[in-house]
């Protein structure tokens, strides 16, 4: 008698880690928005981008779905009241609803050790969440106004120096790195347990990382945009997704 041939069980593919990407809020037009480059960068790195609309009271439920988090930038400022300062001339517009939502997510990611990447304003919010402070306006507070480049915004406009031995250096390499620059605020005091892992030539902090965390990085530039000119930047999203995969069930 011929034995029946039993097909081998299919090996299930590991699902993509779910990476939350915070959306902007355009109150005037009643829309949530996201530059496509963020989603493309997460997808190219092997993650599944999940848009997170800044809805009041929803941060915890959104957080429960995620394996990693990207806090995006935008054309608004972190309210100075969050780091114990009065608003001064030069501080720009704020989006309190979005900031409250993102701050809740950042605090959860830090406390629950969820992989986290803060981009531009997202890096600034990470510092504030950890007790740091910001220059409300670089020209007024730090005597430099060279961090807002004209269009096109994805083209590298200055170098940063990546500190050897840091997590950032492990991803991008130590030493000079070309970045784009679209901010008028910057981190002044980085906060508790935070290492500045890259600086601009004028001394402004350009990258942060949290010491006691599996993966919590912030960069002042936009790696998802500048990556087409300098491919090394893709390693930031690849690093985030790799860390998220360690938390993600098969």
Task: Indicate which residues carry an active-site annotation.
Answer: 120, 222, 224
CA distance 222 to 174: 18
CA distance 37 to 22: 13
CA distance 219 to 187: 11
Tokens 């429960």 belong to residue: 64
The DSSP bridge pattern shows strands 24-26 and 48-52 to be: unpaired
**Angle at alpha carbon of residue 183, lines to 48 and 127, rounded to 5°:** 70
* Cβ–Cβ < 8 Å for 55, 125: no
What the block records as the tokens of 1 is 């008698």
Of the candidates 106, 39, 103, the one whose C-alpha atom is nearest the C-alpha of residue 241 is: 39
Helices (H) and strands (E) in the chain, counts: 8, 13
- Give kind and range of the element (H or E) at residue 118: strand 116-119
What the block records as the tokens of 143 is 């005597």
């Amino acid at each position: 008698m011929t034995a029946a041939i039993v097909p081998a069980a299919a090996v299930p593919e590991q699902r993509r880690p779910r990476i939350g990407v915070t959306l902007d809020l355009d109150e005037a037009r009643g829309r949530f928005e996201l530059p496509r480059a963020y989603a493309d960068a997460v997808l190219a790195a092997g993650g599944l981008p999940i848009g997170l609309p800044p809805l009041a009271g929803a941060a915890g439920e959104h957080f429960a779905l995620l394996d990693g988090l990207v806090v995006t930038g935008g054309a608004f400022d972190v309210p100075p009241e969050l780091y114990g300062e009065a608003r001064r001339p030069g501080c720009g517009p704020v989006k309190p609803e979005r900031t409250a939502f993102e701050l809740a997510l950042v605090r959860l990611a830090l406390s629950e050790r969820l992989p986290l990447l803060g981009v531009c304003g997202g890096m600034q919010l990470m510092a504030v969440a950890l007790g740091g402070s910001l220059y409300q306006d670089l020209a007024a507070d730090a005597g430099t106004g060279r961090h807002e480049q004209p269009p096109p915004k994805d083209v590298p406009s200055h170098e940063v120096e990546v500190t050897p031995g840091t997590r950032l250096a492990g991803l991008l390499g130590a030493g000079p790195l070309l970045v784009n620059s679209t901010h008028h605020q910057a981190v002044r005091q980085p906060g508790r347990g935070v290492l500045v892992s890259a600086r601009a030539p004028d001394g402004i902090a350009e990258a942060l990382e949290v010491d006691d965390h599996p993966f919590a990085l912030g960069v002042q530039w936009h790696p998802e945009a500048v990556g087409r000119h300098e491919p090394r930047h893709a390693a930031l999203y690849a690093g985030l997704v790799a860390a998220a995969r360690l938390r993600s069930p098969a």
